[in-house]
Structures are given as C-alpha cells and as structure tokens.
Amino acid sequence: MNGDVELVLAAGADLGEGPTWDVAAEVLIWVDITAGLVHRFDPKTGHDDALDVGRQVGAAVPTASGWLAIAASDGFSLVDPETGRVEPVAAVEPDVPETMMNDGKCDAAGRFWAGTKDDEGRRPLGALYRLETDRHLVRVLTGVTISNGLGWSLDQRTMYYIDSPTHRIDRFDFEPESGAVSNRRPLVELPQAWGLPDGMTVDEEGFLWVAFWDGSAVRRFSSDGGLISTIEFPVSRVTSCAFGGRDLSELYVTSAKNGLSPEQLNDQPLAGGLFRLSPGVRGLPADPFPG
C-alpha cells in the first residue's frame, strides 16, 4: 500500500464532506456543509468549481441526467450545475429546526440515502431517510444523533451505517430489491481515543474505509470489523473518503477546520483541505440518482 498523503486542493473548507466520484464527468463532487457549497474538482486540471446552493448542504451525488441531487438543510433537492437552479424534491423535518441533513449516498438501485444530525451533536433528534427513485421519501431510522457514513457489502445483503457518537460501525440486513433494512447490530466498537467515526466508503474487496473526526486518520476495516490499516493525516478533523480517478484507484479524503481554535489552525494550516492517496486497492463506482 502506498499511503503517501498528497494535498490536492488547499480549499480551507469550513466543513468539507461527502466526496463522491462522478464516473461520467470524471470529477470529484464534494461539499462544504456550512458554507452551502457544492464543489466539483477536476483532477486532470486541478480546477475546482464551487456552486452556492443557498443553504447548508450535507451531501451531493450525481444523477443520470447530469444534474446533482443534494441532501440540504431543508431536505432533498435537484440542482442544475450549469445555472444553479434548485428544484425541491422532498422536505425533511421542517418541524424540527434543531436538525440538518448530513452525510448521504446512493445504493446500487439509485435510491438516495441521507440522514439528519442534531445541531448540538448530542441529542438523538435525527433520523435516516431513503429517497426512492420515484421521489417518495421513507424514514428508515429514528433516534439518530449524528447520521454519518453509509456503505453496502459486495453482495448487497448488508448495509453499514455510522451514528458518530455511538463510536460504532453498525450493520443491517439489507434487501436490495426494496431497500428495506432490519436486524441492526454492531460490526465493531471503536475506541473513543480514535475520535468520532465519520464518513465511510467500501472498496472492491468489500473492506470499509472510515474517516475519524478529531482522529487525524482514515482506517480500513475488514467486513467482519477487523482493523487492517491506519493512514494518518496532517489535520485532525478528517471527515470522509471516496475512491476516484479513471480506474478508481485513488482515495480522496475531505477535512474541516470548523470549530478549531486559532492555535489549532496555526498548527494545522492544511485544515479544510482535500487530500488524495493511492491505497493499493480500487473502489466501486458510485451509483447515480435517476434524477
């Protein structure tokens, strides 16, 4: 494994999150949640476009039509990346002002999964949602504090999920035809000294890659929860990761400077940057929302 970490964009993001590789466009989509920006980074040119969607945005994924689907503070929407026009699809928790949408991604059938988080990060006010391909919204899970990483096993029979303050990676039985989940149980309990488990992705071997907020690391786990490797970063608030590049052999990692003190920012000048490494294994192509 080549674990050398490269800074590819000194973005200075307040809360960089949610990287997703757009296979068709060959760009990395990622968000700065608190700034309300959806970014598209082109590794061929090093250019990064930022689209202001006018609201906090927890996740963005490509669609089959070329638009973007976002999970934002007011719910799920579609966005025209050329004009910035936002088309609301499904409101989420309009009666709960203390929550906002956080991490999300699509499953193999194109259903867009994303959850909400308590704005104080300590109350179980949030939930996990599934936006069906026909735009019908399903609330899947309640009692969530900080909805975060999502992933699926290679056979699509297991869904992995992180509610950060639990310090666990959980797994569900997953029904790929309907998207139904059941039988939630821990995959692995994580030491609190590692920081909070955050965003997650799954590689072509079925192993899980998890970013650790206040942990300065991304860790790789086997499908039975065993720790395989740890990659350290020059920033503490590592937020999420996704495989990208033409052959999906590069791991892109987002980070944040949100909440860091002036002293910490002085010690971490790359906080909020976008990083890349070649881990020696490929990822899986991200599935788009039908749009």
Which residues face 118 on adjacent strands? 99
Q: Are 126 and 97 in contact (CB under 8 A)?
A: no
Q: Which residue has the tokens 């909440």?
A: 259
The set of catalytic residues is: 198
Residue corresponding to tokens 């934002």: 72
Of 255, 288, 284, the residue nearest 272 (C-alpha):
255
